[in-house]
Chains A and B, each alone.
Chain A
């Protein structure tokens, strides 16, 4: 496997890959696949955390209003996750990039064996040059799903994969938030053309001044600031 410092978790919200009408924007997904494949080609290991299963399930069934009930959300998510991963597969295929699907529940962090298994799976996938596409396993989730919009999940993935950096793409204007391990300050990048450049720069600066602080804690603060 590559350098420890080279693992990047990218968290993408559904708004970043959809149209304003709530339907999936294939052009945006295609572009995302291109950027991530390119980052991967540059020698980084990418882990993608993606929302959108419920929305895709809703669209697939042509349900007019978003589901309110948990049961409905879980059912739509089971339909939509299959659709979502198919679209990712097709988009990444153009760049000869293989993806895998990993569905996690929150207790992955509470159960030692599960944690080790998930960690080993991530390590193995990265070693095999495969990009894992990760989402919450909504079907069996005990909490209200997608309430936290995958922030805790992203943090867990970063922890399990030993990622140095998280990229959060959260809106439709090609705006990225970059967060380094040990930092609480996010770096905003408005131009996706500059993303690779900026990632390199931040990676290098990180290597020089490794702060040593623990990654999950810093993410927690980001989370709090997002929700308070």
Chain B
């Protein structure tokens, strides 16, 4: 558990929260959950850490605003809902963060931020400047013009891109699953959470295929590839359940929660012992 102890020294943390963790099973926003998340983030920011939030939930917020009973199926409706829902979502975040005197900023990105060098540079510079200004950036995909249905797969991939873009040292992915299991917990009683992963090999990827989440568009597969992307860049990743946002404190305290994807940099620290 040595590697877990290192987590408290992480200074630049990307927290990714999925729709399933921000909403009720009926799809409406869970304000209390959001408020608790905001309190935790403000608190770890106060500890002196740089905090970057990657938040889904725009479509859920839009559907809630219009009182829709179910999520629309067609792309145009989803994009329209995202356009009004993103405005709602950022307003809610502003309101809660305001309670803790924390200024936030909104960043909407498309996938080409990783492929077009000038965009990449602009986004990195903006994020760095915001962190220098002690602001918590809240990032989402710019759904209105996204060329694929959901380019980043419920923001899993986006969060990894953001983490590498701003040279974060930890990515925490909060969703409705507790972590990576040794088998499908829904069908196998012996299934256990794998608490630490040092290499993502075929065996790990095979395990990810069996897991599924009900409400979010990203499953375990996109989370694993996000973790893989981060590991390559010496960024640790934790995949855990976001039902209780205070779990972020436990993670930073080095407790054994969720699945920890240990980066090479951390491993190197202990190779001389």
Contact = CB atoms under 8 A, between A and B. Distances in A.
Given A85-B91, A124-B76, A139-B123, A118 B84 contact: no
Contact of B113 (A86, A102, A140): A140
Contacts of A170: none
- Residue among B86, B123, B133, B144 facing the most chain A CB atoms (10 A cut-off): B144
Q: Interface majority SS on A: helix, strand, loop or mixed?
A: helix
A191 B146 CA distance: 41
A30 B2 CA distance: 58
A81 B129 CA distance: 16
A103 B147 contact: no
Interface in A106-129: 108, 111, 113-114, 117-118, 120-121, 123-125, 128
A82 interface: yes
A131 B23 CA distance: 26
B142 A141 contact: no
Contacts of B107: 78, 139
A142 interface: yes
B125 A117 contact: no
Given A139-B107, A140-B113, A142-B122, A78 B137 contact: yes
Contacts of A167: none
A82 B90 contact: yes
A93 B80 CA distance: 18
Contacts of B147: 111, 113-114, 117
- Residue among A113, A125, A139, A142 facing the most chain B CB atoms (10 A cut-off): A139
Contacts of B135: 75, 79
Given A85-B91, A140-B113, A118 B144 contact: yes
A61 B133 contact: yes
A60 B135 CA distance: 12
B186 to A, nearest CB: 36
Contacts of B76: 120-121, 123-124
Given A78-B106, A86-B94, A103 B129 contact: no
B103 A60 contact: yes
Given A85-B91, A111-B147, A120-B75, A125 B126 contact: no
B108 to A, nearest CB: 5
Interface string A54-83: 000100110000000011101100110111
A35 interface: no
A139 B80 contact: no
A10 B103 CA distance: 30
Given A114-B147, A118-B145, A124-B77, A101 B86 contact: yes
Nearest to A67: B129
B118 interface: yes
B113 A128 contact: no
Q: Interface majority SS on B: helix, strand, loop or mixed?
A: helix
Contacts of A83: 94
A112 B95 CA distance: 37
B66 interface: yes
A32 interface: no
- Residue among B65, B76, B130 facing the most chain A CB atoms (10 A cut-off): B76
A74 B129 contact: yes
Contacts of B103: 60-61, 79
Contact of A121 (B80, B110, B129, B138): B80
Contacts of A162: none
Nearest to A79: B105
Given A114-B147, A139-B108, A98 B123 contact: no
Interface in B22-44: none
B129 A132 contact: no
A114 B146 CA distance: 7
Nearest to B148: A113
B193 interface: no
- Residue among A61, A71, A100 facing the most chain B CB atoms (10 A cut-off): A100
A104 interface: yes
A137 interface: yes
A89 interface: yes
B133 A101 contact: no
A98 B145 contact: no
18 contacts: A71-B125, A74-B126, A75-B130, A78-B126, A82-B106, A83-B94, A86-B87, A86-B94, A103-B142, A117-B144, A117-B145, A121-B76, A123-B76, A130-B83, A137-B142, A139-B109, A140-B119, A140-B123
The 6 A-B residue pairs with the shortest CB-CB distance in the complex, in nearest-first order: A100-B84, A78-B105, A100-B83, A124-B80, A75-B129, A120-B76
Given A89-B87, A139-B123, A140-B119, 4 more contacts: A85-B90, A100-B87, A139-B109, A140-B126
